[in-house]
Structure 1
Amino acid sequence: MADSLRRLVSAESCRLLQEKLENWYRDYEINTCDQNLNRCCEIIEMNSVIQGQLFTILNETSREGGHYAGVETIKTRLLPWLGTCFSCAASGGLFESGLSFIQDSVEKERQLRQLATSQTFQLQELQEELTSTRLELDHVQQELVRSRSPSPRRSRSPSPLPLRSCSPGRARRTNASRHACLVARFGDIYANERLDAETLLRTYITDKEMVQRIIYTAAVESFQTAKMAYRQFKMRVRKTLSLGHTELESLEDTVLDYIVRHEDLYDVQASVNEVIRSMNMNPKISFPPEVDFIVISSLIRELCRVAFSMQTLTPPLDIAFGIDGELFSETKYHRSLDSDFTAALVAYHVWPALMENDVVIVKGEAVTKRGALWSRRSRSRSRSRSRSVSPLLSHLSRSRSPSPLRSGSPRH
């Protein structure tokens, strides 16, 4: 419960809600009807988020007290309030029921379309696999008939059967399953590890913007470092396996299959050290000299692992390129709660978007503010930061073992 309450306090959602209410009251008379409605919807959304977090804390608190603790408080405080809310909402029940009926109909229609598409795709995969199995069975039957028929050259040793390869349908299902797992893991990192790292950094840095910039930079550097490590690892595996292969297409499939089955050979610690080194030289972020970016090494490690695994997909997944001052894209990013929803330019990024080719798979998060970019540039001219490596990082770089990506052979 304490962790949930700490996150609610550190998010400063209530203060932001009060500020938006005051701004709306101040500009209500000069706003248009659409602007006032947008402000009202925005405040309702923020209030629902805060209420959801409070109900989560209420549930955790009551669970900590046991079966009977807090029963009287819930009876005297919570249940009468809930009854009042339901009675107040009864007047608009007809409209809400009609709206909910329409929403349910649209949702059911969407689910039916998705189910039909999924069943069609699965049927095509099964048909392809069945065709591949039939061809293999015909080949085996022909070999069996030839082996039983008399022949003057019976003494010759029969030619070996080709090894059974994975059918296209099975390969696509495996790739789709790994794709779904990695996308879900990327979302878990955003929801859990990112918030833990942000809470940890707030103990050293009071500037929330700088904390979010550090986490975004860590994500970008982790993907770049993991992609470079994957390319080097793939080159070594191809060089080793090319000695026993003659067909280029078969070699590429074998190399990819080997990397997928032996992802544990990836030296993720070497990538973590490289990411921290790159972050220490990044002029857009700063950190107190008595600590180091190694405090968020757990977040960097998980990002490197996910980024490395995403390179083994067909096609691979990558994060979108983002730069301060770019035009905000609704298809790529969500706006943070403390954003200016009327601003068109991105002040800074909180989390990158996940892309497949040029299609957005998972939206990122960005902050939009009017004039924030120019104020950030003016502050960056006056900010100076020592780029000397901390004793902890220098000790780590001296004591770490050589990476298999930089040595001649993978680890065992």
Structure 2
Amino acid sequence: MADTLRRLTNTSSFSVLQDKLESWHKDYHVISCDQNLNRCCELIELTAKIQGELFAILNFTAAEGGHYAGVDTLKMRLLPWLGSCFSMTRPSVSADTSLQLIQESVEKDRRIRELSTSHDNDMQKMETQLCSTRMQLDSVRAELVDAQKELDETKSKSATTLLATEDEILQLKADLRSAHEQVEIYKRKMDALDDYERQIRLLRDEVSYLSTEKAMLQERLVRSRSPSPLPRLSRSSSPMRSESPTRAQLTNSSRHARLVSRFSDLYAVERLEAQTLLRRYITDLEMVQKIIFIAVVESFKTAKLAYRQFKLRVRKTLSPSHFGPESLEDAAVDYIVRNLDLYDVQDSVNDVINAMNVNPRISFPPEVDFVLISSLIRETCRVAFAMQTLDPPLDLAFASDGELYNENKYRRSYDSEFTAPLVMYHVWPALVEGNAVLVKGEAVTRRGALWSRSRSRSRSTSPVRSRSLSPTRSLAFNSKRHLSPERLTASYL
């Protein structure tokens, strides 16, 4: 009996029963109905086990007291309690097994509590970590928002900087345009200044000429008042006329230098502009250069003819009223020099274009019109017309395809064969004064030039042949050889 009581005491069955009751009371409203029933059955089983152990102790205690010991206690307490229809079932297991099961149950409950406690601790730790993670996430979100704000500010600053840079670029472009315009204005002013200087030089020459003429007139006035017959004799003599220079004679050297320089400018500027215009329609560079060369030659021919006709009209106009120390020829030239703007250059341009349209040496597409190079023709006609007023006049050197190359008259083009002796075609004519070459021309020399020239003549009408004098004109020329120079000039005009 003492051993059974000791085992029951060591197992702390009532403590376990109390703990289970408290645990059930806490979880009653949380767990389900089946779980509550299981808890209740478990408590009933545990109570029955404890009661079985107590009845065993009661049996052993009553056996130790003898037959009559404890009868009164059993009658007064046990029997009334049994009378209340309480039936105690006999456990199906032994006392030791029951106690062992109770002990295992207690151990399981203790482990469950420990696991629950550890679970609660883990949950608290996880909640703590979750809170810290949420705080870190909030901080990261805040940093992300700050970074987004910084990015937006950077974008706005970059956009502002870009707009400012574009404004600066536009301003610089505007400044550049204004600078170019100022440069153009300065260039025009420089050109105007050069024109003013040329006009000043011309006025100075005119002033010197007028001063000389005034001195001559004063001298003639003094001699006319003198009673001596010598001034009258010298007045009518021819040496006196040759001593009074005209404006054309006074400005001959300056006009000579200016016209030679202008002829060089025609080669360097107007020729290249005309070549660029023609290359848009004609791909053959050789044909383009031939067209420009023929245009210059025809311009000189037309301008010389126009000068002779203009001079003839001037002589006819001045001859009835002419008087003075200079001759009629000098007066006519001086009048032309003073009135170069009366030259009808457009008429000469039309004549040059008409001559080029019938020139057999030029082959060009039908959509090309020589009006494209009318600016070159106009300037060349003006220069050629003004060159005829010089003494002696300037002219172009005679040139023909297949001629022997002359280094004194021409320089070779970059695409020439420098060992070829003959000229294939001319790029620019040479300017001569009598037999002296003032400005060299440009020619293309290649081998086989004579053969290609003869082949082109066999295919088309020869331009040299078309320029030769007719028999009637040859006879007329021979008959005019015995005429005076003035009549000869008039007959040619």
Interval of TM-score (by shorter of Structure 1 and Structure 2):
0.5 to 0.7
SS class of match (2:437): strand
* Equivalent residue in structure 2 for 1:263, among 337, 340, 343: 340
Question: What residue in structure 1 maps to residue 150 of structure 2?
Answer: none
In 2, the alpha carbon distance for the partners of 1:209 and 1:275 equals 20
Query: Normalized per residue, which structure has more helix?
Result: 2
Report matched runs for 1:332-371 at 5 Å. Answer: 332-371=409-448
SS class of match (1:350): strand
Query: Offset at 1:263?
Result: 1.1
* Equivalent residue in structure 1 for 2:327, among 250, 254, 261: 250
Question: What residue in structure 2 maps to residue 209 of structure 1?
Answer: 286
Query: Offset at 1:134?
Result: 7.6
Which AA in structure 2 matches 1:184?
A: S
Q: Residues 304 and 130 of structure 1: is their aligned pair in 2 closer, same or farther, counting only changes over 3 Å?
A: closer
* Equivalent residue in structure 1 for 2:451, among 369, 374, 392: 374
Question: What residue in structure 1 maps to residue 260 of structure 2?
Answer: 183
Which AA in structure 2 matches 1:333?
A: Y
Query: Offset at 1:204?
Result: 0.8
Question: What residue in structure 1 maps to residue 317 of structure 2?
Answer: 240
Question: Which stretches in structure 2 are left out of the alignment for 5+ residues?
Answer: 1-172, 177-208, 228-234, 462-493
Runs of 4+ in 1 over 3 A off after TM superposition: 64-67, 128-146, 163-173, 246-249, 375-384
In 2, the alpha carbon distance for the partners of 1:172 and 1:368 equals 40
Q: Residues 274 and 141 of structure 1: is their aligned pair in 2 closer, same or farther, counting only changes over 3 Å?
A: closer
The CA RMSD over aligned residues, in Å, is 3.5
Q: Is the 8 A contact 2:430 2:440 kept in 1?
A: yes
In 2, the alpha carbon distance for the partners of 1:131 and 1:240 equals 26
Question: What residue in structure 1 maps to residue 144 of structure 2?
Answer: none
Query: Offset at 1:168?
Result: 3.8
Q: Is the 8 A contact 2:425 2:444 kept in 1?
A: yes
Which AA in structure 2 matches 1:294?
A: V
Q: How many pairs are equivalent?
A: 246
Report matched runs for 1:145-224 at 5 Å. Answer: 167-168=244-245, 172-224=249-301
Query: Offset at 1:332?
Result: 0.4
Report matched runs for 1:30-109 at 5 Å. Answer: none
In 2, the alpha carbon distance for the partners of 1:197 and 1:339 equals 22
Q: Residues 244 and 379 of structure 1: is their aligned pair in 2 closer, same or farther, counting only changes over 3 Å?
A: closer
Larger Rg: 2
Q: Residues 372 and 175 of structure 1: is their aligned pair in 2 closer, same or farther, counting only changes over 3 Å?
A: same
Q: How high is the TM-score relative to the length of structure 1?
A: 0.53
In 1, the alpha carbon distance for the partners of 2:394 and 2:253 equals 12
Q: Is the 8 A contact 2:246 2:330 kept in 1?
A: no
In 1, the alpha carbon distance for the partners of 2:212 and 2:323 equals 27
SS class of match (2:427): strand
**Which structure's relative contact order is higher, taking Cα pairs within 8 Å and 6+ residues apart?**
1
Question: Which stretches in structure 1 are left out of the alignment for 5+ residues?
Answer: 1-63, 68-127, 147-158, 385-412
Percentage of identical aligned residues: 63
In 2, the alpha carbon distance for the partners of 1:296 and 1:334 equals 24
Q: Is the 8 A contact 2:388 2:394 kept in 1?
A: yes
Q: Residues 143 and 271 of structure 1: is their aligned pair in 2 closer, same or farther, counting only changes over 3 Å?
A: closer
Q: Residues 182 and 255 of structure 1: is their aligned pair in 2 closer, same or farther, counting only changes over 3 Å?
A: same
Report matched runs for 1:298-313 at 5 Å. Answer: 298-313=375-390
SS class of match (1:313): coil
In 1, the alpha carbon distance for the partners of 2:213 and 2:326 equals 18
Which AA in structure 2 matches 1:178?
A: R
Question: What residue in structure 2 maps to residue 227 of structure 1?
Answer: 304
Query: Offset at 1:253?
Result: 1.4
Query: Offset at 1:248?
Result: 10
Report matched runs for 1:115-154 at 5 Å. Answer: none
Q: Is the 8 A contact 2:241 2:327 kept in 1?
A: no
- Is structure 2 residue 392 aligned with structure 1 residue 315? yes
Which AA in structure 1 matches 2:419?
A: T
Q: Residues 65 and 286 of structure 1: is their aligned pair in 2 closer, same or farther, counting only changes over 3 Å?
A: farther
Which AA in structure 1 matches 2:362?
A: I
In 1, the alpha carbon distance for the partners of 2:334 and 2:210 equals 19
Question: What residue in structure 2 maps to residue 326 of structure 1?
Answer: 403
- Is structure 2 residue 352 aligned with structure 1 residue 279? no
SS class of match (1:334): strand
Q: How high is the TM-score relative to the length of structure 2?
A: 0.45
